[in-house]
Amino acid sequence: MRGLRPQAVAARIGEIAPRTAQFADQWPTGQDVEVLPPVRHALAEIGVRYLFSEDAPALLPFASQLFLAREVVVHPSRWVWPRWVPTPARRFRTRQQVAFVDALRPIVRRRRSSGRIGDDVLGQMLRPSSRYGLLPEEAILDSLPGITVATFETPSRAAGWILLHLAQYPQAAGRVAAEAALLPADPAATTSAHLDGLQYTQALVREVLRLHPPTWLLTRRATRQTQLADYTIDAGSTVLVCPYTAHRDAREHPEPDRFRPERWLDDSGSPTKPGVFLAFGTGPHACEGAALAMAMLTLMTAQTARLYHLSEPPGAEPGYRVTTLEGLATAGLHLRATLRS
Ligand code: HEM
């Protein structure tokens, strides 16, 4: 998708950085805070703004409801209903999807009829492409609910793991803070060159995604009979690929269970070999938002570590539950921030 390509994201870093900085600035200090709701809110604002620019405020409330609807649908229930049964959760999801599309349709029509289609992701979708020509309105309206939620759903799960690691590895957090000190005082002045300078922070983000890939299971369907090592996979079979276990394979990731961001900075580091790091998937259906995700997460990590020491609540029990249903996540994560001197 054109508007999500790395060059497109690089040109818009100055729009992303102020909101991640605001997230960090507003963190209440000296108390245990539930982290994921404000993280999700900040990332949703960035994601929806990135897709729809000045039309974002009209769509943001519907985007949050879409997220909620997806959570409700995947929530375990006592019964496993066939896909066609309109359970209350599924009806709720359909209503939220319809509400989002109803809010989006007049925006699409207004942009098309006025000729001011914009340069954001929606604007790029409204332009004819060499591959697909001019997309029909329904194709645009069908794909955007999923893309909208994708801008903040998985990134907020990733952010939970990253902030937890800042709390658990104060030395690494200190290194991030030192790097972040070089960011401009005015976040709106942040450019892709500043982002590129956050080498260690980017390595830390990748290392957390290696250890805790939010999308820990991928599926593919074999289109024809395929031989894979000693296995024959019949046409039509579903193949499960588990990034979590692949990322802990010592042949590709020495000391695989160890949190070591430096492995991404070594020239000899293997994680950059194609197919070895699967947090964003691989092949033609790999994540289209990887560049946007890396930009949001790197900036949020750097700006938070620059201001605070994070710590976990005292006590033997962790302040979160690992959940796997909707993706690998730190449900209920609580952290405490104290100002760095
Ligand atoms: C840390 C954050 C993220 C992670 C870990 C992640 C992970 C993934 C993975 C693993 C896939 C591939 C699924 C597969 O191969 O079956 C995927 C697909 C996708 N992601 Fe992301 N994602 C993230 C953020 C984003 C963002 C910010 C967007 C922005 C819109 C996005 C948009 C998409 C889209 C559109 C696809 C579908 C690609 C296709 O089917 O052709 N993702 N993501």
CA of 127 to the centre of ligand 1 (A): 23
CA-to-CA dists, residue 200 to 60, 128, 173, 175, angstroms = 32, 39, 10, 7
What pairs with residue 308 in β-bridges? 339
The CATH label, of 3.40.630.10, 2.40.50.180, 1.10.630.10, 3.40.710.10, for the domain at 2-213+288-339 is 1.10.630.10
Q: What's the pLDDT at 78?
A: 65
- The finding on whether 288 has its CB within 6 A of some atom of ligand 1 is yes
- The finding on whether 281 has its CB within 6 A of some atom of ligand 1 is yes
Q: Which of 142, 280, 297, 330 to mutate to test the pocket of ligand 1 (most atoms within 8 A of CB)?
A: 280
Can you give the length of the chain in residues? Answer: 341
Answer for the pair 242, 215: CB distance below 8 angstroms, yes or no: no
Q: Which of 2, 153, 154 to mutate to test the pocket of ligand 1 (most atoms within 8 A of CB)?
A: 154
- The finding on whether 155 has its CB within 6 A of some atom of ligand 1 is yes
* Nearest-angstrom CA–CA distance, 201 and 184: 16
**Mean pLDDT, contiguous 10-residue spans, the chain (341 residues):** 93 98 96 96 97 96 85 66 79 89 97 94 93 92 95 97 98 98 97 98 98 96 93 95 95 94 79 86 93 98 98 90 91 96 80
At what angle are helices 36-52 and 56-74 packed, to 10 degrees? 130
Q: Where are the domains of the chain?
A: 2-213+288-339
C-alpha angle with apex 43: 105 to 336, nearest 5 degrees? Answer: 155
Q: Whose CA is nearest to atom 6 of ligand 1?
A: 280
Provide the token pair at 218: 């991928």
Answer for the pair 323, 292: CB distance below 8 angstroms, yes or no: no
Q: What's the pLDDT at 266?
A: 82
Provide the token pair at 299: 């900036």
Answer for the pair 300, 130: CB distance below 8 angstroms, yes or no: no
Q: What's the pLDDT at 181?
A: 96
- DSSP-derived letter for residue 314 is S
Q: What's the pLDDT at 236?
A: 96
If phi > 0 it is left, if psi is from -120 to 50 it is alpha, else beta; for residue 133 that is left
If phi > 0 it is left, if psi is from -120 to 50 it is alpha, else beta; for residue 234 that is beta
The number of angstroms, rounded, from the C-alpha of 320 to the middle of its chain's C-alpha atoms is: 19
User: Could you identify the atom of ligand 1 that is nearest to the CA of residue 294?
Assistant: 1
User: Could you identify the atom of ligand 1 that is nearest to the CA of residue 147?
Assistant: 30
Q: What's the pLDDT at 269?
A: 56
Q: Which of 20, 52, 244, 287 to mutate to test the pocket of ligand 1 (most atoms within 8 A of CB)?
A: 287
Of the candidates 24, 52, 5, the one whose C-alpha atom is nearest the C-alpha of residue 299 is: 24
What pairs with residue 296 in β-bridges? none
CA of 281 to the centre of ligand 1 (A): 8
At what angle are helices 56-74 and 88-114 packed, to 10 degrees? 160
- The finding on whether 295 has its CB within 6 A of some atom of ligand 1 is no
* Nearest-angstrom CA–CA distance, 160 and 329: 7
Instruction: Give the contacts of 56 (CB within 8 A, at least 6 positions apart).
Output: 45, 48, 49
**Global pTM value:** 0.94
Provide the token pair at 31: 């108390």
Q: What's the pLDDT at 88?
A: 78
Q: What's the pLDDT at 174?
A: 98
* Nearest-angstrom CA–CA distance, 210 and 247: 6
User: Could you identify the atom of ligand 1 that is nearest to the CA of residue 214?
Assistant: 5
Q: What's the pLDDT at 275?
A: 84
Q: What's the pLDDT at 76?
A: 63
Q: Tell the residue number behind the tokens 């658990």, with chain if given.
A: 168
* Nearest-angstrom CA–CA distance, 44 and 225: 41
